[in-house]
Structures are given as C-alpha cells and as structure tokens.
Structure 1
C-alpha cells in the first residue's frame, strides 16, 4: 500500500539525531565502573565476587542501552503500530489501540515521550517519539492521531471503563516511583548506620543492611503507597 493510498499514516520513527544525554552518561559511567572492577580484581582477590557482580551488571546495562539506541523505533502502518525495543518487538492492530498521547515525565528522561494506550488500559512507550528526535513530538502525535481517526482506524470517543483503567495504571506507576524513592532513602540510612558500626568497632552487616533491607522495603512501601493512592482517589471521586 502506497503512502498516498494509506492517507499519510505510514511513518517510521527512529534515532536520527543525537543520542539522549542520559544514555551517553549511562554508557560512560558503566565503562568507568567496569574498568575499575577489572583493575580491582587484578590487584586483590578479597572482593573479587563483588567486583565480578558489578562488572556483569554494568555490562548488561551497556549492552541494553546500546541495543536500544540501535534497534528501538516505532513503525506506523495502516495495519497497526509496531514498537521495536532493545530485545523484543510488539505490534498492536488498530482495533486494539485506544489512544496515542504525549505525556510529561517531569523528572524523567526524556521529558516528553509518546505513548500508546491499548483498549485494556495498558500503556507502552513509543521509542524515538520524544524531544530528542522530533522538533515537536506533541504536534507529531496529534497529527498521527488525527490521521488515524480520519481514516477510520481509531475512534475518537472516550470510553469510561478504559479511562478508569488508565488512571489506575497511572496511580500504580506513581506508587512504584515513590516506593523507589523510599528504597533510596532507606539504603542511605542503612549505609550511615553500617558506617557507624564500622567506626565504633562493632560487627558490620553491609550486605544485609545496605542491600537486603532496602530491597525488602520496596514491595512493602509499594503496597502501602498504592493503598493510600487508591483511598485518596476514591475520596476525590
């Protein structure tokens, strides 16, 4: 089907501009930490297990970031929307697409990202539809949405049940983000406490305090914050 026959819906968004700064920073930091880990393992074998773990973890981070920069893209055709990530590819036929939106991630990167909402309320990020690759991602997605509606591929009508699921998903993401902040705070407190044990010649438990305790706090904090968010939403509704 030609682009003229498809009414201008045929589009592909891939990385054509600069690499996002957070990706470049992540890869640089990973390379430095990996180098330090290798040097530490060659100098001393006392903490070789930790250094090997750090090296393996950051190697995975670099590989995933590099793959995402090379592979990630969004393809739009008259048949649907295809999202290719760092490892997998997913396709939504237009019958399963509820909406296309650009949302403000506030403290995240990229700041403005395109998202696809399915009819079940689930959200998927549209790679390369952001301020790093497009001069105006909001206008681009608005035009794409208008084109899809004009061709009869999507319905412009709002569905209360889908909107309710979308709002529920947004509250869960906020609870997850806040629980991650809680974990970071707990980890910092445990690090200070473990350092105090070290300086007062008491037995230290670095692995347990700095890693295990914060990780155990994550699901607990999420459940509590999720309940609080749902209770607040119920009161406001």
Structure 2
C-alpha cells in the first residue's frame, strides 16, 4: 500500500488512488435534462406568463445552479493516499486522516430508480458522521464492492487499527441517520410549501395582485421546516429506541 510491498501484493494497486468522473450520464438522464432546460427556456421566453423581475430572478437562479453543476462535475473527485482520504466538490475540500476514519461503506442510493448510480460509498468518522465520496460509485466503477474491499485491505496498515465494529460508534451512526432522515423529510415538506408559494406568487403577479414574495418564498418554507424538523426527529428517535 503506497510503498508497502506487502499491501501492494494484497490489493494489487496500493492505496494511492484518485476517483474522478470517467463515464458521462446515461442518454435517458441527458434527454430528461435537455427537456427540462428547453421547457424552462420556453417559459422564460413567453412575455405574458411571468413579470420581468421574477423572470430575471429565475434565470439568475438557474444560471447559478448550472455553474455549481459544471464545477461539481469538473472539479469533483475523491483522493485516497497513505495519509488518508480527501474529497473535492465545486468549492469545498475535505480531508480525513486514516486514524479518524471509522469505516468506508457502500450503501444503496435512495433515488436509485431515477438515477444512473445505484450504490454510493460513504466515509464514516469515529463520531458517526458520514460523508459521501464523489465518483466512488457503481456508475464510475464496474465492481464497486471489490474496489472498496481493496481500499479496506490497502489502508489497514496506515490506519494503525483494524476495521472492527465498535458498538458506541454504531449507536452514533444510527442516531445520526435518524436525524438525517428527519431533516430530509422536513426539507421535503418545506419544498412542497415553496412550490405552492411559487405557484401562488406567479398567479398573483399575472393577475396584478400583491403576492408578498418575501413572506411566501422565504418565511413560509423556513417556518414549515422549523415545525416539521422536531416532529420527524421525535418520530425517528422513538422508532430507533424501540428497534
């Protein structure tokens, strides 16, 4: 592993690896993205649908989203070396030393029915926090499970400890998973409120009403999240306690 002949013999590749985007999105995903973009452009080109100031805001948001997506694709990567693991996104770089890493796990992508990626790889630290490892997935790698197993083998010596499970960390992982599910559900609820608010604001704008966009598009979704997050958190923690 990374200069260690014994580890290299065990894994065949050593620990020095970099995972980047090598395969493009599938044709189906690309076609769906094109349809969304064309529809957005057509809607923005119709002068009788959305007032000018809201059209400019929508275009600006779409442009920012496009820049973020392009930077994520071009800059995103996972780097594995003798000192640990690092990830790079559109703007952020994160690093973990091997002794701070509890496990590397392959997990099912929750949105796999609509995605090219069916399985993802996550890094768990010693406090149970997890981070997704970009491009270390079954879309970019033909045998993801074997790749992650090879990383476990190659990194064992550099970690200074085995990959054994620790009950205290496993409990923290389950607790954080419950909190994460609660946040995801609360965000979904807030987005539904936001979409409803957008529809109402557009309708009011078209009919020359006074839609109060700040209250509807900002305050209402935040209020929905603030109400839903603790409710879902209590629900998932209660389910975890009875598991």
- Residue 111 in 1 paired to residue 118 in 2? yes
Q: CA deviation at 1:208?
A: 4.5
Deviations 1:26-59 (A, max 9, x none): 864675476457646xx58x82221122111111
TM-score (norm 1): 0.79
User: 2: CA distance between counterparts of 1:220 and 1:22?
Assistant: 37
Correspondence 1:131 to 2:135: no
Mapped to 1, the partners of 2:195 and 2:211 lie a distance apart of: 15
TM-score, scaled relative to structure 2? 0.77
Describe how 1:62-101 pairs up with structure 2 within 5 A.
62-101=66-105
Q: Distance in 1 between matches of 2:7 and 2:192?
A: 52
Between 1:31-40 and 1:83-92, the stretch displaced more is 31-40
Deviation for aligned residue 1:129:
0.7
Q: Which runs of 5+ in 2 are unaligned?
A: 9-13
Higher relative contact order, chain-length normalized (CA < 8 Å, sep 6+): 2
In structure 1, the gaps of 5 or more residues are none
- Provide the rounded CA distance (Å) in 2 between the counterparts of 1:188 and 1:55: 17
Q: Is the 8 A contact 1:81 1:94 kept in 2?
A: yes
Does residue 147 (structure 1) correspond to residue 151 (structure 2)? The answer is no
Going from structure 1 to structure 2, the CA distance change for 1:15 and 1:191 (only over 3 Å counts) comes to closer
The yes-or-no answer on 1:11 pairing with 2:17 is yes
Tell me if structure 2 keeps the 8 A contact 1:27–1:65. Answer: no
Give the alignment of 1:1-237 within 5 angstroms: 2=3, 4=5, 7=8, 8-19=14-25, 24=30, 28=34, 31-32=37-38, 35-36=41-42, 39=45, 43=47, 47-107=51-111, 110-149=117-156, 152-186=159-193, 208-209=215-216, 212-236=219-243
The 3 A distance-change label for structure 1 pair 27 and 65 is farther
2: CA distance, partners of 1:39 / 1:193: 20
Report if the CA contact (8 A) 2:197-2:217 is conserved.
yes
Task: Tell me how far 1:76 sits from its aligned partner.
Answer: 0.6
